[in-house]
Amino acid sequence: MTLEVESRKETLAEDGLPVEELVVNVGPSHPSTHGVCRVIVHLDGEIVTRAEPVIGYLHRGIEKMCENRTYLQVVPLTDRLDYVGSMYANWAYCRAVERLAGIRVPERAEYLRVIVCEMQRIASHMMSLGSAAADTGAATMFIYAFDERETIVELFEDLCGARLTYNYVRPGGVSFDIPEGWTDRLLEFCRTHRVALREMDKLWFGNVIARGRMKGIGVLAADDAVAWGASGPVARGSGVNWDLRKHDPYSVYPRFDFDIPTGSAGDVYDRARVRLYECYESCRIIEQAVAQMPGGPIKAEGLQRLIAPRPGDAYDHIESARGSLGVYIVSEGGPRPHRVKFRSPAFCNLALLPLIAEGHMLSDLVVCLGSLDPVFGEVDR
Amino acid sequence: MNITELRDHLCEQHPDLCPLFSIEFGDGVLSVSCDKLYEAASGLRDLGFDRLGMATAVDRGETFEVVYRLTSRSMSVGIFLKCHVPRDAPKTNSLFPLWPAALWQEREIFDMFGIDFEGHPDMRRILLPDDWVGHPLRRDYTDDRMIRRPDYI
Amino acid sequence: MAFVDRLGEILSEGGQGGIILTSIDALADWSRGKSLWAMPMGTACCAMELIAASFAKFDFDRHGSFPRPDPRHTDVMVVAGTITRKMAPAVKRLYEQMPEPKWVIAMGNCAVSGGIFFYDSYSVIRGVDEFLPVDVYIAGCPPRPESLQDAVLRLRELISTESIAPGVKHERTLSLPRSGDVSFGVRPGSAEEGDAE
Ligand code: SF4
């Protein structure tokens, strides 16, 4: 469906019609930019010749704030980064602190972290698929997907008391153990979620209009994905088989049996499919983790309230719903970090927008943007 | 591949880079001087480091430390590439020609630290408005709207 | 200026209100309060709860509050999320595009006061009331969707004291008569009238 910009220009010029460039500003407050993103679009007729994202409308200076907080006080700030998947930033940050301070995490806590992060992956993908579906005109799908997310949010609320900003993973463990009857509800959710996924699959991916809006749109070549530092479903949709859970395994992931779904065409459709299949895999991981979970403490013992690691720097990363989320902490001794850097996958993925949107219609721009699944708390930090 | 294998591999392929390699907290670190940065980076790329994961900078007082993290998919290993630029003349080479991923990440460093990257095609602010004064992630940055948090501990 | 626009002014000439003005006010306030279309100015985390509020479980729509992302169709702006110095001009401009009468709900600590970003942040505006007239504040980080519904009900209460006449404010809630009520509306300050609610 890609229309060749150059050839179109030529046909217009042959007809004696002047070709003028039109510049359209989309955002920063636009219903389908998934947050506060502004895109300056250069148009030839309705064809995008250049799309330039302007970001920073949600730049809150979290990295600067970290410099004046103790290591524990930074954890709530990490919640606010990727607000669709708060657990990931919690975990990535805690891993970096643990590496820096040499804290050993009890096994039960690792399992709990895996469980909540896989739940978070489902919740995040539901949000992403739902809003991407709404971009293609399938508003029903959004409501179904959000319903699934709501169940997870309720489970999280029972676990740690918050619906959105969990502050659950802490350096050295997790904050609460699971309440009674919680695992049963979780397993029940996994069972019903599979059914819901199949339904959504039929509803959206089976719809001829949705297919038409997604297939062949926003094609990203595998080489480009690697060179531009894309990760997560965006890279995997292009066939780049790179998932930190498998290829640089952390925590207890090597103990689980799961697959990494990859696409081949690298278009919007494949990226969305990868997200859908990842939800199945997450269900599998959750079920295995619940079955294997050992007893024992959920926090490291003898942990001081004021962590003051020795000088040095540490980097750690995990696979979030959007890709590899890394945290780089520089310590100069003392109770506060000298520098905290969040390597956010959404930031790197969004840089691809000019590449994939070029040559498509203006109405496909939002579909391309939605398929990159940016969360602006994380893009702008 | 683990980190010692990486060191051996690096020393075999690039003997000149070998003495600059060290291991910190389980990560390989290659500290070079900034005029050698581009060379070292292209050497690493030929070695199989195909992804630029992260680019950032750290304020170290007299100097800014520019930090790149490269990962290799084929070797499943990551490495840090670091160099120090002087605070009064913050300038270094851009790695954009090697990895386009540096496009936005170096712009962010410029925005936050004011480090200029030579060879970068689009050196503008990215997160802050264009008319912003100063570079906020420098340790000595203040502005009149910022309120310092009182020291409770 | 159209007659309708000056109606309030004309009716309120020669004293505070009057039975016609009060009745019109009661009708206007009722209709305004029951169909508060919301401009969802969701910028950050609180936007997630804003979306959750309008979906199946919480069903914001039953209050007549329907999110429309177009400022020209809306009555109330729900500022949900952190507003930065780069974003503030855009928010202000959107607010200016909304037709009168218009109200603002500040949802979440960030919109109320800067919240968690009050200290040490160089780019966050400490509360939208620095540049917008806020009517209802909701605290929480993020507030639950229920609190947003509570805010809409509070706003409705607030609206029910408003008048179409400039500078007039009713002391009590106005409401439309129900069948069986003798009095039509409540005249402000008159003690013998029964409360219609
Ligand atoms: S109040 Fe809390 S949840 Fe809401 S935008 Fe601010 S930080 Fe996010």
pLDDT tens digits, residue range A125-156? 988 888 888 888 778 888 888 888 888 888 88
Give the count of domains, chain A: 1
> Phi and psi dihedrals of C70, rounded to 5?
-125, 115
Among A93-102, A303-312, B142-151, C170-179, which is the least confidently predicted range?
C170-179
SS3 state at A179: coil
This complex has an ipTM of 0.88
Tokens of A279: 């939800």
- Give the model's pLDDT for residue A11: 65
Q: Alpha-carbon distance C2 to C177, whole Å?
A: 29
Instruction: For B3-45, give the DSSP string.
Output: HHHHHHHHHHH-TTTGGGEEEETTEEEEE--GGGHHHHHHHHH
**Amino acid occupying residue A142:** F
Query: Is there a domain that residue C184 lies in?
Result: no
According to DSSP, residue A203 is labeled I
Alpha carbon of A178 to those of A86, A87, A161, A186: distances in Å?
18, 16, 12, 11
Query: Is there a domain that residue A52 lies in?
Result: no
Residues of chain C with pLDDT under 70: 1-5, 8, 10-19, 165-168, 170-197
Question: A315 vs B103: CB contact, 8 Å cut-off?
Answer: no
Query: Is there a domain that residue C99 lies in?
Result: yes
Query: Is there a domain that residue A123 lies in?
Result: yes
Question: C116 vs A61: CB contact, 8 Å cut-off?
Answer: no
Of B109, B122, B102, B96, residue with least CA distance to B56: B109
> Phi and psi dihedrals of A194, rounded to 5?
-60, -40
Q: Which residues of A touch B145 (CB under 8 A)?
A: none
Confidence of residue A200 (pLDDT cuts 50, 70, 90): confident
User: In which domain, by residue range, is A197 found?
Assistant: 62-343
**Amino acid occupying residue A219:** V
Residue A211 CB partners (closer than 8 Å, separation 6+)? A205, A269
Would you give the distance in Å from CA B59 to the centre of its chain?
A: 12
Residue A102 CB partners (closer than 8 Å, separation 6+)? A309
Query: Is there a domain that residue A349 lies in?
Result: no
- Give the model's pLDDT for residue A8: 59
Query: Is there a domain that residue A41 lies in?
Result: no
Q: How far apart are the CA of A15 and the nearest CA of chain C, in angstroms?
A: 38
Q: How many CB pairs under 8 A join A and C?
A: 95
Contact A217, A359 (CB under 8 A): no
pTM for this predicted structure:
0.86
Q: Which residue among A68, A226, A351 sits closest to B51, beta carbon to beta carbon?
A: A226
- Give the model's pLDDT for residue B40: 82
Q: Each residue of A14-44: pLDDT tens digit?
A: 777 666 788 888 878 777 667 788 888 888 8
Residue C117: which CATH number?
A: 3.40.50.12280
Residue A70 CB partners (closer than 8 Å, separation 6+)? A306, A307, A335, A336, B153
Q: Give percent of chain A with pLDDT exceeding 70.
A: 95
> Which residues 118-137 of chain B have a CB within 8 Å of chain C?
128-129, 136
- Give the model's pLDDT for residue C174: 59
Query: Is there a domain that residue A380 lies in?
Result: no
- Give the model's pLDDT for residue A1: 41
Q: How far apart are the CA of A19 and the nearest CA of chain C, in angstroms?
A: 31
Query: Is there a domain that residue A357 lies in?
Result: no
Residue A121: which CATH number?
A: 1.10.645.10
According to DSSP, residue C195 is labeled P
Which residue owns the Cα nearest ligand 1 atom 3?
C142
Of C131, C118, C144, residue with least CA distance to C46: C144
User: In which domain, by residue range, is C129 found?
Assistant: 2-168
- The owner of tokens 């990895």 is B99
**Contacting subunits of C (3+ beta carbon pairs below 8 A):** A, B
Query: Is there a domain that residue A12 lies in?
Result: no
Q: Each residue of A315-347: pLDDT tens digit?
A: 888 888 888 888 999 888 888 888 888 888 888
Tokens of A236: 């995997």
Question: C116 vs A36: CB contact, 8 Å cut-off?
Answer: no
- Give the model's pLDDT for residue C195: 46
Query: Is there a domain that residue A78 lies in?
Result: yes
Query: Is there a domain that residue C78 lies in?
Result: yes
- Give the model's pLDDT for residue B77: 78
Greater pLDDT, B99 or B11: B99
Query: Is there a domain that residue C37 lies in?
Result: yes
Confidence of residue A6 (pLDDT cuts 50, 70, 90): low
Pocket test for ligand 1, best of C43, C49, C84, C110 (most atoms within 8 A of CB): C110
Contact A362, A46 (CB under 8 A): yes
Query: Is there a domain that residue C178 lies in?
Result: no
Domains and CATH numbers, chain B: 3-118 (3.30.460.80)
Q: Alpha-carbon distance C70 to C78, whole Å?
A: 12
Q: How far apart are the CA of C115 and the nearest CA of chain B, in angstroms?
A: 13
Query: Does residue A58 register a pLDDT over 50?
Result: yes
- Give the model's pLDDT for residue C165: 67
Question: B146 vs C120: CB contact, 8 Å cut-off?
Answer: yes
- Give the model's pLDDT for residue B153: 57
Among A49-53, A231-235, B17-21, which is the least confidently predicted range?
B17-21
Query: Is there a domain that residue C153 lies in?
Result: yes
Measure C119 CA to ligand 1 centroid, in angstroms.
Answer: 14
Is B124 near chain A, with CB under 8 Å?
A: no
Give the count of domains, chain C: 1
Q: Average pLDDT in the A237-242 region?
A: 85
- The owner of tokens 């600067």 is A64
Query: Does residue A2 register a pLDDT over 50?
Result: no
Pocket test for ligand 1, best of C41, C43, C45 (most atoms within 8 A of CB): C45
- Give the model's pLDDT for residue C16: 55
